[in-house]
Structure 1
Amino acid sequence: MPSQRCRKVLKAFLMITASIIAVLASFQVIKFVFGTSSPFCVVVSPSMYPTLKIGDFLIVKSTAPSELKVGDIIVFHNPLNPEELTVHRIVAIIRKNGKSFFKTKGDANAWNDPWIVSEELIEGKVEHVIPYVGFITIALQPPINYILMALLIVMIVLSEILGSSE
């Protein structure tokens, strides 16, 4: 019966839409609570080894620049490529005209970074490290994540259409 099938497809569509909205809303709440646009970060290079390893999942919280200190691990926009986030340790702080500037270095690197990080570039301080969880996001890079989402949607719709009648 087509109308029953249409209702099942509509129900599946509404369920998927509600789930997507819930996930997006949750992420916005998390960003607000942590005070940063990047509350989560995954280590993708060995520059902070042995402290942080590739695949570590980081929880980042906004911290006032005046509260940051030498030794803190921060997440910041790379001054040479602002689209890229970098996770390094503060090795020196320069206070000038009421602003803070930070010299950073990866623990595994022999030298300090060639730049100075202004407070505007800082996303936050690393608060917690969850080992290995970041490998999931590394593995699910496009196009794999899109393929898996599409398969999940198809499975939900098919289960609604082919499932038992209500």
Structure 2
Amino acid sequence: MEKTTSKTTVWEYIKYGLFLLVTGVLSLYIVIAVFLPDQTVKIFGFKPYVVISQSMEPVIDRNDVVVVNDFAVEELKVGDIITFRTDINYDGEKEVVTHYIYSINKNNNNDYSFKTHRYFSSETEIVPDTWLLLEEDILGEYMFQLPAIGSIILFLQSPFGIVAMLVNIGIIVAVVILLKQGKKEREEFKKLQDEQEE
């Protein structure tokens, strides 16, 4: 009986330790994503972005999530998909865009600049985007996409979504606490019964 109890206790410590580790990493990721959003890829090696336009359909659909990784600028090639920040409306505000690389230029100071393009069904129709990107504008290189979950993420980032999420987290925490309390009370009651039977 003691061996079983000891194994159970060890396993509970391991589970608790893993829970703390995962919670700590997620919390660190969220803090960095909020306060240093453009550094997330550099620190963690990846970052997801929600696609909000139809410019890459049918390759990447609107509301897909693209996951990008860190990149070496000298390894980027024409035809690679990258995610970057640029002022697409020329209103002084930069948006996040995911497009193909159209051309790469390197000057005498070894500084890179890039032209991009949206999806075209035929190579003969390809027209480059109007903007010119520098290395610091690029957020990451495309790794893979998660279809259609972007709308959920955008909802969770909205004020209403944040309130709904906090309420649900509060309910889940309350349920877990009540279940643990109920389990403890049942164990104490069973222990009391066993003692009375002896």
TM-score (norm: length of structure 1): 0.73
Q: Is 1:57 the equivalent of 2:65?
A: yes
Q: How does 1:1-166 map to 2 (within 5 A)?
A: 21-26=24-29, 31=41, 32-34=43-45, 39-79=47-87, 81=92, 83-97=94-108, 98-107=110-119, 111-159=127-175, 160=177, 164=182, 166=184
Query: Residues 165 and 50 (structure 1 numbering): CA distance in 2 closer, same or farther, change over 3 Å?
Result: closer
Q: CA deviation at 1:82?
A: 6.0
Q: CA deviation at 1:157?
A: 4.9
Q: After TM superposition, where is structure 1 displaced by more than 4 Å over at least 4 residues in a row?
A: 18-22, 79-83
Tell me how far apart the structure 2 counterparts of residues 49 and 25 of structure 1 sit (CA, whole Å).
Answer: 33
Identical counterparts, % of pairs:
30
Tell me how far apart the structure 1 counterparts of residues 169 and 144 of structure 2 sit (CA, whole Å).
Answer: 33
Q: CA deviation at 1:110?
A: 6.7
SS of alignment partner, residue 48 of structure 1: coil
What one-letter code is carried by the residue in structure 1 that aligns with 2:182? S
Query: Residues 157 and 57 (structure 1 numbering): CA distance in 2 closer, same or farther, change over 3 Å?
Result: closer
Q: Structure 2 regions of 5+ residues with no counterpart?
A: 1-19, 33-39, 185-198
Say if 2:156 and 2:165, in contact at 8 Å, map to a contact too: no
Q: Structure 1 regions of 5+ residues with no counterpart?
A: 1-17
Post-superposition Cα deviations, 1:66-121, rounded to whole Å, max 9, x if no partner, equal 11111011011115556421111111111112111100111159742211100111
What one-letter code is carried by the residue in structure 2 that aligns with 1:75? T
CA RMSD in angstroms, aligned pairs only: 2.9
Tell me which moved more, 74-83 or 115-124: 74-83
Q: Which has the higher contact order (CA 8 A, sep 6+)?
A: 1
TM-score (norm: length of structure 2): 0.62
Q: CA deviation at 1:43?
A: 1.0
What one-letter code is carried by the residue in structure 2 that aligns with 1:106? R
**Structure that is richer in helix per residue:** 2
- Paired position in structure 2 for 1:12: none
